Structure 1
Amino acid sequence: MSREKEEASFSILRIYDEPEDRRSEFESPGISSQRELQVRSHLDSLYGMPQRPPGALQRGPVYPAMSPLTPQQWALQTLDRSEPQTSWLSEAEPGEAAEFSPSGLPGSEFGQPCPSPPPSEEVCSFLGAIPPVADEVVVRQRTPRESWKVGKLRHGKKVYAVAISSSTHHVYTCGHGYIKVWDESALHAWNKAPQAQLNFQDHQNCVLTCKLFPDEQSLITGGLSRTLTLWDLAPTPRIRAQLASTGPMCYSLAISSNAQICLACFKGFVEIWDLQNQILIRKHEVPEYGSRCVDIAGNKFWTGGEDTSLYSWDLRSYQKLQQHNLHHEILSITHDPSEEWMLVGLRTSDVIILHTHRKEKFKAVIHKYIHHHNIKFASCGSYFVTTLDESIHCLAAPSLQRLFQVEEATEILCCDVSSDNQYLVTGSKNSATVYQLLY
């Protein structure tokens, strides 16, 4: 496939800075009559009378957005639950129209189901007469409106990996020779000493990647060492086990949501570890230059790197499932909390968004050549943070509204967001910066 065809297969998404007014059309003069007409128009479209010209598909967001809905819209959504989502269908690739068309839905080969009768005039009148819901009553996902720089953690050397817990708000800054542990009081200070410093026996050991376990009671680290180190964090940090790896440098780590499987990414292969029994399950070969970063979602894991291709693999059969040629070097991979979407950070700063099992892919274009690209999804799923060299961008999901942007003085090498969505921590040249997220 040529580059032009590959680029055309992505739906381009716009990152915008101002919130879109999605209620204006419902708050204009003559609201009662307009609302009734909208209800009638939508109901007509559900029962075989399209109201837009053929081919005039509306481009929707990455996944169905949470927006302020009137009771009429909630009622219409309820009526429409059996219909395929038009926002999904409009984003599918041209060649996949048949796959996602109503005729391709399960059961269609057994004949068309009998359509339900359209709602009566009384139902339409009732829906049109319901007053709008006040803004303060509508339930919305929380997203931070801005960040406040509250502290600096003086690590002393480059911070290549960082993690922050939510239960205790301890921060772990990792780099060359040691890991420093910071308690919550240090997060709101600028020169406070760490609570502890964990020194490696091999002073040449350098931690390049770390992952907190879902329960935040354990940490695993990897880097310039032929071992992966498993740490118990409570009551005080200590080494639980050292897993003898077969590669000299671990670039990336990933942990399954049940904390049973750990993936460690090396040049040309991925190690698959059973964390409970601390045994190596498999050394899985991948393209030599396609193994800079790794992530796991459900029964698949994903790898990518310098060869510009993103690969997905089956965790049970270890067969390659997909290969996406992205034409630019892949610097980071992460998934959203639902494990349905993969976000891929490219050298060009663009963010690729792919569904884990449906053939849907999007591109959020930023147009900036960078050296470091990190992505971290908030545990609430309503936003994610992407760092591009010295810049921090916090973007709402799925609308891609830019919630805030921060510039730092030096390149950002890593980042993490606490699972309670209260703090953002970035690691750079010789320190970590702590931001409190304001809602």
Structure 2
Amino acid sequence: MQPPGPQGPALSDAVATRPSDRLQQLSRASEAAAHQQDTRPAADSEPRFWQDVLTEQLWQLFAGLHDEADGPEGSTGLPSPAPGSPEASGNARSTGSGGSSGETPFHVTQETARRPCRFLKPICWDPEDFEDAWERPDALPWQSRKLAVPYRMEKVRVLKPGEPLLVTTISSFTRHAFTCGRSGVKVWSLVGQTPGAQLRTCLLSPHSMTLLLGGNSLAGVTVWDLKAPCLHVRHALPCADLTCQALAASPRDSLALAGFSNGTVRIWDLRNQSVVRDLPGPQDGAKTLVTAERQVWAGGLAARLQCWDLRSPKEPQEYHFDSQIMSLSPHPLEDLILVGTANGQQWLQPTRGGQKYTVGCKDSAILGLQFSPLGQWWVSVGMDSLVSVYGMPAGTKVFQVPEPSCITCCDVSPNNRLIITGSPQQATVYQITY
């Protein structure tokens, strides 16, 4: 059976109806609607769709064309034709006495009267859309600057993804830009980039739930929540007028640490973003910073390795090296700190006292090194443009992979399967096979 619609019987009847009959229908419908409005309970104060004769008649015309398609649930609440009227007779003839045609009788739909539709409620706009007041003399009260035509723009960021872009998009909610190239999608943070600001370091928490960012001319060290549905800055740790060049985290104590170029090592409590303590670090600044158990280890260009106990504000222990300390990595299971120096040497320093010992060397400065999650091996990179993997405990060289330029940083994934390296030109991800 063809469903009723604009081409169904209701439309045919409406077209076939003479103008004089239509006017009579409108007149009777107007009187019935007025009677219905007069008999409405006084407590029902909601506005009706029709407030004047013209609107009412237009609604009657529309309802006459579509009531049959709406069915009992789509009833408009219009009064039913009076018994014995031509409309009632015509409906009875079209449906039969028992409704054997299977269609809902038109007069049944009319009898199941429903209250007229209410006025549409006003749209609830986000307050941010109207937070600015437009002060032009000819502006209307509801107008906003954001709805006006712009008259200037200025450049605030330049993003260099290093490849031709296919699509770009931007979010004002999360303050991120997304660039799509043939190699993948890159996510750019637009937060805190004041003139002259530069990122210098970042740190992923041991549980991969938080990202710390620090640098020069920033409002503070920013804490990004990675487990939220949308990337956003959860906290900004205060460090005004300080240049951050190293970051560390102590998950057991919910602490974040930063080493600054003036030699200060600052500790924050992430639970309330308060400053716990400032430690007098290396005078030339902490180039690298790590935590091991309840200890903080810092190394810098003065060729000194310093260690503080977080449980007491005593003077730090110091260990001297022959060259500048460029990178540190704590062993995940043993009381050892791996030290990489500018002359290419690699050392293991016991954290509970004892003599350090060398575990292999490279031909040039070591810029980054990282233990594997279980501590059986570590990766070392630097000016020699080689990704080198060494085994514990003697520092036996396992293999090396060349890259086209010097390598400035590296990391190992928590699942022990991926290595990432960074250079001035690119970042490279390696998959490990055992």
TM-score range, shorter chain: 0.5 to 0.7
C-alpha separation in 2, matches of 1:365 and 1:269: 32
Identity across the alignment (%):
29
CA distance in 2, matches of 1:392, 1:198: 29
Counterpart AA for 2:226? L
Residue 223 of structure 1 corresponds to 215
Aligned to 1:381: 375
Structure label with greater radius of gyration: 2
After TM superposition, the structure 1 = structure 2 runs for residues 189-204 of structure 1, keeping only pairs within 5 Å, are 191-194=182-185, 196-203=187-194, 204=196
1: CA distance between counterparts of 2:276 and 2:357?
34
* 1:240 aligns to 2:243 (yes or no): no
Q: Secondary structure at the residue paired with 1:313?
A: strand
Give the unaligned 5+ runs of structure 2. Answer: 1-158, 163-174
Do the aligned residues in 1 keep the contact of 2:409 with 2:421 (CA within 8 Å)?
A: yes
Aligned match of 2:329:
334
**Cα 1:366–1:315, aligned 2, differ >3 Å: closer, same or farther?**
same
Residue deviations 1:319-350 (CA, integer Å, cap 9, x gap): 23421110211111110112511011100110
Distance 1:260 1:180, change over 3 A: farther
Q: CA distance change for structure 1 residues 283 and 383 in 2, over 3 Å: closer, same or farther?
A: same
Q: Is the 8 A contact 1:226 1:249 kept in 2?
A: no
* Contact 2:243 2:260 survives alignment (8 Å): yes
Q: Which amino acid aligns with 1:218?
A: T
Deviations 1:7-66 (A, max 9, x none): xxxxxxxxxxxxxxxxxxxxxxxxxxxxxxxxxxxxxxxxxxxxxxxxxxxxxxxxxxxx
Counterparts of 2:215 and 2:285, CA distance in 1: 18
1:431 deviates by 2.3
Please give the alpha-carbon distance, in whole angstroms, between the structure 2 residues aligned to 1:336 and 1:318: 24
2:294 to 271, 295, 299: 299
Question: How many angstroms apart in 2 are the aligned matches of 1:284 and 1:307?
Answer: 17
| SS of residue matched to 1:304 | strand
TM-score, normalised relative to structure 2: 0.55
Mapped to 1, the partners of 2:241 and 2:279 lie a distance apart of 12
Measured after TM superposition, the shift of residue 430 of structure 1 is: 3.3
**Higher relative contact order (Cα pairs below 8 Å, separated by 6+ residues):** 1
Matched to 1:294, the amino acid is L
Indicate yes or no: 2:334 matched with 1:357.
no
Give the Cα separation in 2 of the matches to 1:247 and 1:401.
Answer: 44
Cα offsets for 1:241-274 (capped at 9, x unmatched): 1112145311111111426111100121100111
TM-score of the two chains, using structure 1 as the length reference: 0.55
- Partner amino acid for 1:377? F
CA contact (8 A) 1:220 1:230 kept: yes
1:297 positional shift: 0.9
- What are the Cα deviations for residues 97-145 of structure 1, in whole angstroms up to 9, with x where unaligned? xxxxxxxxxxxxxxxxxxxxxxxxxxxxxxxxxxxxxxxxxxxxxxxxx
Q: In 1, are the aligned partners of 2:359 and 2:394 still within 8 Å (CA)? A: no
Q: Letter of the aligned partner of 2:185 in structure 1?
A: P
Partner of 2:265: 270
CA distance in 1, matches of 2:269, 2:337: 23
* Partner residue, 1:419: 414
Work out the number of aligned pairs and report it: 259
1:322 maps onto 2:317 in alignment: yes
Aligned-residue CA RMSD in angstroms?
Answer: 2.5
Structure 2 distance, partners of 1:179, 1:306, is 35
Map of 2:19 onto structure 1:
none
Q: Which of the residues 391, 399, 404 maps onto 1:396?
A: 391
- Contact 1:386 1:394 (8 Å CA) reproduced: yes
**Cα distance in 1 between the residues matched to 2:177 and 2:223:** 15
Distance 1:181 1:434, change over 3 A: farther
2:14 is aligned to none
SS of 1:438's partner is coil
